[in-house]
Each structure stands twice: as structure tokens, then as C-alpha cells.
Amino acid sequence: MKRTGEDMKVIKLLIVSKQGGVEAIFEKEEDITVIGAIGSVRELSSLAVSTATMPDVILFDVRISWTHGHEMMLMLKEKHPSIPIVILTVYPEDHYLIEAIAHGASGYVLQKGGIEQVVAAIRQCANGQIIYPASIKGFLMRKFQPEGIGQENVALDKAIESLGSFSKREYELLILLTEGQTNQQISKKLYLSIGTVKNYISRLYKKMNVSNRPELLALLYNYQNRSMKG
């Protein structure tokens, strides 16, 4: 879909893919310019990006191998931690999505969603938005649902302890977030204003080095799993 306007910002896109032809997706998009395409760890290692050629978004195609994708994802975030990465994949399983979130992906798009969804995700992530499937919140909420004082509850406590030092109020907020409580619900339960709740949550994001609730929940879920296995 063509976009017009004198002030239209052109998004510089770097494609990481073992498959050729991905660039063709963006040929008709006037606001997206593909500045390069690489397909191997070796190419990524030798990639030299100047200020002028710094991409606004990286499209990471892992439709062939998630194992291959895992290694390159770590390298991408190490080399370019501030550049949003959109994952294009055929893997709908939740654990792949959680791993992508944990590694800092800003977007996660399934191939079956079609080209328009991929293009939309590129634009949204370039504007600082986070694009995850709606299923992720429900999946994470189910993982944190309390079922009495059991192993998962103890593991969640250990996960929170492992992530840093939290005040009593911050701990209360973390528990409520894992229960899927909204800002309004948290405000009523803790007798705090909405603004105060938002400030606490922002501080938690900063302390845990995450940008949003899915990232926070994915991080807690990963630590909870480690505690249960340990």
C-alpha cells in the first residue's frame, strides 16, 4: 500500500534472512527502504553499520530454523541493542514467542498473517510500538494463576527475588501484574491513584530492564521455570 505526503518518514529496513526474495515484499512501499539483506552469522559478524546506514528496524526472518534464529538474535541485540527487531516466523508456539520477547524482540509476526501484517508491524515498531500476538497475555496469565500454595507460587517468589531487590509495594504490584490486574484494578486494591500506579510500574520496568507488561511477564515466567527446575 502506497503512502503519500511531503513529510512522510522513510523507514530504513535491514533484512536478516536465509531465504532470498524477502526484499520484494517492500518494493511498493514508498515509506520503507531496504538498505541491506544478510543471511548468515558470518555476514552479521562482519556487518559494518555507519550512522548514515543505521537501520530504523531489523526484520528477522526465522521461518527456516529457530535454532539459527536464536544465535543471530543474540548477536543482533548485542551489536544493535536500540534498534527494534521484528520477528517473521511460522512458529505459533508460545515458548518461541516468550524466547523472542526475552531476547528483546519488538514485534512477532506469523507468516500466515500475510504481507500486510508484516508491513504494518515494521511501521508500528519504527514508531516505538510493541507488536505481539494477542494470545501471549492469556498464555502468561494462565501460567501465573494461583492454585493454592504450590510449587509454582514458591517458584514465582524465588523468581522475583532473583530479579533484584524490591520494596513491599513493588512486590505487591508484581504479584497483581502476574494476575492480569489492570491499572484501575491495582489502584482500587492498593488504594493508590492511577498516576501513582503508573509511576510504580514505570520504575519496575526500569529496574527489570523491560519495556512493557509482556516483557515483564515473560521475564518472570523464565525465572519461575528456572526456579522450578532447580
Q: Residue 226 carries which side chain, given as an amino acid letter?
A: R
Cβ count near 197 (within 10 Å): 22
Average pLDDT over residues 54-62: 89
7, HSE (Cβ side, Cα atoms, 13 Å): 0
Q: Which of 5-19, 20-34, 179-193, 198-212 shows the lowest mean pLDDT across its residues?
A: 5-19
CA 132-125-60 angle, 5° bins: 75
Q: Running DSSP on this structure, what letter comes out for residue 131?
A: B
Average pLDDT over residues 108-118: 88
Model pLDDT, residue 148:
43
Model pLDDT, residue 130:
76
Tell me the pLDDT band of 227, cut-offs 50, 70 and 90. low
Average pLDDT over residues 156-179: 81
Model pLDDT, residue 198:
93
What CA–CA distance (Å, rounded) separates 97 from 142?
15
Model pLDDT, residue 220:
78
C-alpha cell at 75: 548477536
Model pLDDT, residue 161:
74
Q: Which of 35-44, 45-54, 124-133, 168-177 shows the lowest mean pLDDT across its residues?
A: 45-54
Q: What is the mean pLDDT of the chain?
A: 78
Q: Which domains does the chain show, CATH number per domain? A: 11-133 (3.40.50.2300), 136-229 (3.40.50.2300)
The maximal CA–CA distance of the chain, rounded, in angstroms, is 60
Q: Is the pLDDT of residue 145 over 60?
A: no
What CA–CA distance (Å, rounded) separates 230 from 24?
47
Q: Is the pLDDT of residue 149 over 50?
A: no
